[in-house]
Structure 1
Amino acid sequence: MRRVTGQPRPDWEKTIEAQGLGFHRNVPQGEGRPYWDESVHYAFTLGQVEDLELVVSELHDMCLQAVDHVVKTRGFAAYGIPEWLWRPITRSWERRDPHLFGRFDLCYDGTGHAKLLEYNADTPTSLVESSVIQWYWKQDAHPAADQWNSLHEALIGRWREILRPGTMLHLAHTDTDEAGEDALNVAYMADVASQAGLQVRHLTMEAIGSDGRGFYDLGNHPIEHLFKLYPWEWVTTEGFGRAAVDAQSGQPWVEPLWKMLLSNKALLAVLWELYPDHPNLLPAYVGTPHGMTSYIAKPLLGREGAGMRIVQPHQVIETAGPYGAEGYLFQEFWPLPDVDGWHPVLGAWVVGDTPAGLGIRETAGLITDDTSSFVPHLIHD
């Protein structure tokens, strides 16, 4: 795995904006570089990518086994999930309500075992950068090279498996998304769903109405199938939360309710309990560091690196954020690789049950947050 420098394309800003990535101008340049940075890329061998595909496939299977374990043992308490949700989540899993996609965040240096840092299973973002923007960069700048990237085709295929062509699908995000990232991801998802033969309507969560029995858009059209880029832990605390949960028995939303067991960082402790000493896992525990002297404390429902605390014998590093009241996951601290002074996190995508691509964020610090730059990658042999 090599970090390679190069010259950005002339007028690259206009190019990526024409391809849909407009919100990059709204991301603070906390490290003095743009959010999309094509002046560098990471180069992998085909063998490394094939190994990572196997890792992602195994991690995905392990996560499904973890859901099954939690449901069968009623191990919801570690997640901090209210008891009124235990039965609906169980029923959602027993029905195998269809799931669409997720992103595993991995620590990997090209030589040792990739380590799972966390799993973004309910509302993963950076989809457009991973699927579209870096693909067209490759086509323009390195047309003879390859890339681990079948996201676009995989999403179209998965939507065809979830819903019949001609079905109406509503897609929603929150209007509190000031940067525009969520809106972009939902717009792209609407595009791939349309290419899968679905009818699509794009709206915000705040524009969804409910009469206590069903849900409707502003045109009073019934919302029978919904893709939401809005986490279940937020939905269930809204005034319409119970009605939304009750609706899942008829027309489950995407992502399904059982994904609450994968989008919560307590998953990492369950995985470590089920698969101790697995080469792709790190020791992890809910509520206590369990005697570890170097660890990272992660809010169970935290996002974008907010509210974290890295504890080492010689220093403590903390990030601000609104999360933590729900409890913490304590995971062994595993430093990110240092590649020319930068620290990459690999975001490995799974669509349905199949590995489908890679996106990379990197930062000069130890915690990847919402200002960390996205850089493309290639496969070189």
Structure 2
Amino acid sequence: MIYPLTRQPDGSLRPYWDESAYYSFGLGEIEALEETVAELHEMCLAAAAHIVARDRFADLGITDARLAALIAESWRRRSELPSVYGRFDLRYDGRGPAKMLEYNADTPTSLVEAASAQWFWMEDCFPDADQWNSLHERLVDAWKRQAPLLPPGAPLHFAHSAADELGEDLMTVAYLRETAEQAGLTTRAITVENIGWDRMSGRFVDERYGFVRACFKLYPWEWLTTDRFGPQALDTLDNGGGTGSTLWIEPAWKMLLSNKALLAVLWELFPGHPNLLPSYLDGPRELAAGPGYAAKPLLGREGAGVTLHEGGAEPVVRDEPCCYQELAPLPGFDGNRVVLGAWVVEGEPAGLGIRESAGPITDEYARFLPHVIR
């Protein structure tokens, strides 16, 4: 296997896929983690319902009334809209309960290595072991089940941004496209930058001037709705009611789950839950004097903009909207900080990916390590 190299801040190159070590779990640990992820997902859906019912979009930084209405409509019609996957990031040290750090429900990556690479690694290195990993089969089955929700006779486009310099988005989209084709769907690859707008028909088109009727996009909703063609994306949004012309996957209601404000809403609805960390939107509150806190921008990827604050210092309220979550330092193993990525497919627990970082924040310099079940 050829391992991609990541350029570190000091200019050195290090393999992203790292099999110099691996993580081993007991079956009971994995079963408990599966139960935790299933419960967390249901709690997140309850929080989304609460946000829509109480019209709390402003807490998520969504102040455009039209966009809020479209998200609410997407939520109400969610059974009519394809929704494939997501990834919980968890703090887990093998001793206490797993703690939810965030939910990457719109554009999660590190899928290829979690689904395929570590499975083949296990078959080569530990053929008698097991692994929490049913991702590939579940993804194929998901596309089969959700095929009737797609516009008939139209190819399913798979889009990533050409601005992705690391190639991670490209690999993720290519892999998801492969699972869709194994499910019998007709697909077509495209970059987001090459999706055009045909003024005559009032529709999005690809390079062949074919209508983009359905599109899986590894492109955050907050970018899509604010880009040059954002108004057209909203004008033609198909929320399952048959009034739009483009069906986007993941659907717009996933914006409710991929926003860090979700963490504060969860703590409000389920205070003291063993798998949650205290989180607030108006400031760190008691966390500043106590355990400390992480200030997280409501939107962001790969740890961008996250700052950590030790307890006992003066609270710092940032100018930009943030979620202030109790500081829960990642467990360290041989000087490496580890975070668990627990995957869900169609809302069901489906697998585990593990990333290590040298620093306290899991960022684009993190490495992926495989795991086995003892």
Judge conservation of contact 2:287–2:311 (CA < 8 Å) in 1.
no
How many Å apart are 1:199 and its aligned residue? 0.6
Partner of 1:64: 45
Structure 1 residues 355 and 78, CA gap change in structure 2 (3 angstroms): same
Q: Which residue is equivalent to 2:171?
A: 184
Q: C-alpha root-mean-square deviation of aligned residues, in Å?
A: 2.0
After TM superposition, list the pairs within 5 Å mapping 1:40-189 onto structure 2: 40-83=21-64, 84-96=66-78, 97-164=81-148, 168-189=155-176
Paired residues in the alignment total 354
Q: Which residue of the other structure, out of 272, 276, 285, is the alignment partner of 2:280?
A: 285
Distance 1:326 1:120 in 2: 20
Give the structure 1 partner of residue 198 of structure 2.
211
Secondary structure at the residue paired with 1:123? Answer: coil
> What is the match of residue 244 of structure 1?
233
Q: Do 1:156 and 1:196's aligned partners in 2 also have CA atoms closer than 8 Å?
A: yes
Matching residue of 1:9: none
Structure 1 counterpart of 2:260: 265
Shift of 1:308: 1.4
1:162 Cα shift? 1.6
SS at match of 2:266: helix
* Alpha-carbon distance, 1:75 to partner: 0.5
1:139: Cα distance to partner? Answer: 0.7
Q: Deviations over 1:16-69 (max 9, x none)?
A: x3xxxx6x2244376874211101000000110000000000011111111111
Q: Is the 8 A contact 1:105 1:346 kept in 2?
A: yes
Shift of 1:291: 2.7
Letter paired with 1:82 = T
Note the C-alpha offset of 1:342.
1.8
CA shift, 1:307, in A, is 1.3
Residues 131 and 150 in structure 1, CA contact (< 8 A), matched pair in contact too: yes
**Equivalent in the alignment of 1:12:** none
TM-fit CA distance, 1:161? 1.6
One-letter amino acid of the counterpart of residue 148, structure 1: W
3-state DSSP of counterpart to 1:362: strand
SS of the aligned residue for 1:118 comes to: strand
Preserved contact between residue 38 and residue 349 of structure 2 (Cα < 8 Å): yes
Alignment of 1:341-380 (within 5 A): 341-380=335-374
Structure 2 residue ranges without an equivalent (≥5) = none
Distance 2:194 2:320 in 1: 28
Q: TM-score, normalised by structure 1?
A: 0.89
How far does the alpha carbon of each residue in 1:134-188 deviate from its partner, in whole angstroms, 9 at most, with x for none?
Answer: 1110011111100000000111111112214975100001110111111111111
Q: Are the counterparts in 1 of residues 5 and 14 from structure 2 also a CA contact under 8 Å? A: no
Amino acid at match of 1:279: P
Are residues 1:25 and 2:5 paired? yes
Aligned to 2:310: 312
Cα contact 2:335–2:358 (8 A) shared by 1: yes
Structure 2 equivalent of residue 331 of structure 1: 325
Paired AA for residue 329 in structure 1: C
> CA 1:166–1:198 in structure 2 vs 1: closer, same or farther (change >3 Å)?
farther
Q: When the two structures are superposed, what TM-score results if normalisation uses the length of structure 2? A: 0.90
Does structure 1 conserve the Cα–Cα contact (< 8 Å) formed by 2:136 and 2:179? yes
C-alpha distance 313-326 of structure 1, shift in aligned 2 (>3 A): closer
Q: How many angstroms apart in 2 are the aligned matches of 1:295 and 1:43?
A: 30
Give the conservation status (yes or no) of the 8 Å contact 1:248–1:257.
Answer: no
CA distance in 1, matches of 2:30, 2:193: 41
Native 8 Å contact 2:131 2:372 kept in 1: yes
Q: Distance in 1 between matches of 2:46 and 2:320?
A: 24
Q: Does 1:229 align with 2:218?
A: yes
* SS of equivalent to 1:253: strand
| Residue in structure 1 matched with residue 271 of structure 2 by the alignment | 276
2:142 and 2:109 mapped to 1: Cα distance? 18
Identity %: 54
Alpha-carbon distance in 1 for matches of 2:233, 2:144? 24
- SS across alignment from 1:296: strand
The residue matched to 2:272 in structure 1 has which SS? coil
CA distance in 2, matches of 1:136, 1:315: 48
Question: Retained in 2: the 8 A contact 1:106–1:114?
Answer: yes
SS at match of 1:98: coil
Q: Does structure 2 conserve the Cα–Cα contact (< 8 Å) formed by 1:301 and 1:326?
A: no
Query: Structure 1: which 5+ residue stretches go unaligned?
Result: 1-14, 319-323
1:194 aligns with 2:176: no
